[in-house]
Amino acid sequence: MADEHKNFIDGQWQAARSGKVFENRNPANRDDLIGLFPASGADDVDAAVGAAKKAFDRWRLVPAPRRGELIYRVGELLRKYKEDLAPVETREMGKILKETRGDVQEGIDCAFLNAGEGRRLFGETTPAELPNKFAMSVRMPIGVCALITPWNFPLAIPTWKLFPALICGNAVVLKPAEDTPHTAQKFIEILNEAGIPPGVVNLVHGRGEEVGAALVRHSGVQLVSFTGSATVGREIASVCGQNLKRVSLEMGGKNAQIVMDDADLGLAVEGALWGAFGTTGQRCTATSRLIVHRDIAKKVTDALVARAQKIKIGDGLDESVDMGPLINQAAREKVLRYIDIGKQEGARLLTGGGIYNAGACAKGYFFQPTIFDQVKPSMRIAREEIFGPVLSILEIQNLEEAIEVLNDTPYGLSSSIYTSDVGRAFRAMRDIEAGITYINGPTIGAEVHLPFGGVKDTGNGHREAGTTVYDIFTEWKSIYVDYSGKLQKAQIDNN
């Protein structure tokens, strides 16, 4: 009998009002039923938002340094339970243990970063234009924040959103992806153990079309923070815009790594392999395009193909495995469709391109590391997000063409260039249209103390992580203190 799990509302574990549940299964082994989780609906969302609204009135008055101490305690607990949490993530979403340990570590780093901000949260003071008058600005919490998070970083991304929201004095309702509910439950258990007060953090499981939509439309939600596809992001933005509700969107990417003819080719190949096939290509920052100078293209391509064919595929719980499964059957079917599209468009398939089902892998959603060359910028496999282990190689003849090709997609999240020429590096930093640029590093590997996000269809202008995230989760209030003892009229000629 599978374990049946619950929502967490107002400090209590509760079943869905409907009594319905959904299955959570291991993508590496469909026979492995992890548990049953609440198939929640609008009634559950309403209860969670109501609890968050009540808790917000108390939580916003807790001094920010005290809120920081609680978040620091969460970080310590995440560190304590790191080796317990990593296998939970791997079993639930498939990526290898080295990566899920990294996911937890990112949560730890995020906790400590935000805990410190409890003693900062800087506003500004500025000279007033009148005598005996003081002027300043401060950050104010917004209220109830709906956090809608994806499955590929089931711990790290919730921490990116939740810790800044809490340190600023907001209350939250977390809606995790239905593919990774168990990791979210473990996270909530840690928050509860750390002493986060009841109602400040609420967890509601369920499908995006039901729970996510109800959260976005709920009148008691003042802010929506969403990470996911551009298609869904546009729908959320439309609803929030109609209701003048704040919304932060972090969406897709079609990230590219440039390799110039003066690059360290061994280093560039290592970066491309990690960027393209880490997390089975299921990162918004994954390297899905390799833009290579034509003079070195054959050498780089041959090395990549040889290395890709040696990647060990299997259950991520096996420490010797290099790459785990895709998240589910729909994801694998999508990747297969793009393989067909690439062939039809005239790209040349060099390796991979099919389902991997050797031995025990037959019970999971495994896919071969795949590389295309002879790819043109206009091809769909060079423009659309595949979200799988598929790398497209495009040849260029100079830096200007490389940057033009890199920019020629609807997205602008992460980018990379390998070169030994500092001038080329700085021109790339200036001219690439992306929120993140790496020099001699892959397109994956962002750190929590710098802004994270992108341009064009990647987002709506906000940045998560770093200190810029507090502009999402706070409102600015300007304050004037007149201690002159008389009426002073700003901007009025008093001469």
The helix or strand, by DSSP H or E, that contains position 416, with its residue range, turns out to be strand 414-418
Whether 490 is covered by a domain: the verdict is: no
Is residue 166 domain-shared with residue 210, that is, in the same domain? yes
The CA distance from 143 to 348, in Å, is 52
The CATH number of whichever domain residue 138 belongs to comes to 3.40.605.10
Phi first, then psi: what are they for 391, rounded to 5°?
-115, 130
Q: What mean pLDDT value characterizes the chain?
A: 97
The SS3 call for residue 219 is coil
Whether 111 is covered by a domain: the verdict is: yes
Q: Give me the pLDDT at residue 146, please.
A: 98
Whether 286 is covered by a domain: the verdict is: yes
The CA distance from 349 to 352, in Å, is 8
∠ CA 207-212-214 to the nearest 5 degrees?
A: 115
Whether 148 is covered by a domain: the verdict is: yes
Q: Give me the pLDDT at residue 287, please.
A: 98
User: Of 408, 439, 470, which residue constitutes the final position of a domain?
Assistant: 439
The CA distance from 296 to 272, in Å, is 15
What is the side-by-side strand order in the sheet with 255-259? 348-351, 370-373, 390-396, 287-293, 255-259, 414-418, 436-439
Contact (Cβ atoms closer than 8 angstroms) between residue 388 and residue 334? yes
Q: Give me the pLDDT at residue 495, please.
A: 56
**Continuous H helices in 226-296:** 230-242, 265-277
Structure tokens at 350: 């060099």
Q: Distance between terminal CA atoms of the chain? A: 84
pLDDT in tens, 337-393: 999 999 999 999 999 999 999 999 999 999 999 999 999 999 999 999 999 999 999
The CA distance from 399 to 401, in Å, is 5
Calculate mean pLDDT across residues 294-315: 98
Structure tokens at 188: 């909530």
Strands 133-141, 474-482: pairing is: antiparallel
The helix or strand, by DSSP H or E, that contains position 474, with its residue range, turns out to be strand 474-482
pLDDT in tens, 143-198: 999 999 999 999 999 999 999 999 999 999 999 999 999 999 999 999 999 999 99
Q: Give me the pLDDT at residue 492, please.
A: 86
Is residue 229 domain-shared with residue 80, that is, in the same domain? yes
The CA distance from 291 to 284, in Å, is 18
362 contacts: CB under 8 Å, gap ≥ 6 = none
The CATH number of whichever domain residue 373 belongs to comes to 3.40.309.10
- Return the axis-axis angle of helices 399-407 and 422-431, rounded to nearest 10°: 30
**Residue 13: which domain range?**
7-251+459-479
Is residue 348 domain-shared with residue 225, that is, in the same domain? no
∠ CA 330-333-339 to the nearest 5 degrees?
A: 145
Is residue 91 domain-shared with residue 60, that is, in the same domain? yes
pLDDT in tens, 59-69: 999 999 999 99
Is residue 297 domain-shared with residue 247, that is, in the same domain? no
Is residue 27 domain-shared with residue 73, that is, in the same domain? yes
Whether 346 is covered by a domain: the verdict is: yes
Is residue 85 domain-shared with residue 192, that is, in the same domain? yes
Catalytic residues: 250, 284
Q: Give me the pLDDT at residue 491, please.
A: 86
Calculate mean pLDDT across residues 397-413: 98
**Burial code of 282-318, b = ≥16 C-beta within 10 A, e = fewer?**
bbbbbbbbbbbbeebbeebbebbbebbeeeebbbbbe
Is residue 230 domain-shared with residue 265, that is, in the same domain? no
Whether 202 is covered by a domain: the verdict is: yes
Is residue 239 domain-shared with residue 290, that is, in the same domain? no
Whether 27 is covered by a domain: the verdict is: yes
The CA distance from 237 to 230, in Å, is 10
Is residue 244 domain-shared with residue 269, that is, in the same domain? no
- For every residue of 369-409, DSSP letters joined together read -EEEES--TTSGGGTS---SSEEEEEEESSHHHHHHHHH-S
Is residue 181 domain-shared with residue 144, that is, in the same domain? yes
Is residue 93 domain-shared with residue 59, that is, in the same domain? yes
Domains held by the chain: number: 2
pLDDT in tens, 56-110: 999 999 999 999 999 999 999 999 999 999 999 999 999 999 999 999 999 999 9
Integer angstrom CA distances of residue 297 from 265, 300, 302, 447: 10, 5, 8, 31
Strands 201-203, 223-227: pairing is: unpaired
Contact (Cβ atoms closer than 8 angstroms) between residue 187 and residue 166? no
Strands 12-14, 223-227: pairing is: unpaired
494 pLDDT tier (thresholds 50, 70, 90): low
Q: What percent of the chain has pLDDT over 70?
A: 99
DSSP 197: P
Answer yes or no: pTM beyond 0.85: yes
For the CA atoms of the chain, what is the radius of gyration? Answer: 24
The CA distance from 255 to 409, in Å, is 9
Structure tokens at 246: 């704040």
- For every residue of 432-485, DSSP letters joined together read --SSEEEESS-S----TTS-B--EETTBSS--BSTTTTHHHHEEEEEEEEE-SS
2 pLDDT tier (thresholds 50, 70, 90): confident
Calculate mean pLDDT across residues 110-114: 98
The CA distance from 236 to 212, in Å, is 9
The neighbour count for residue 359, using CB atoms within 10 Å, is 8
Whether 273 is covered by a domain: the verdict is: yes
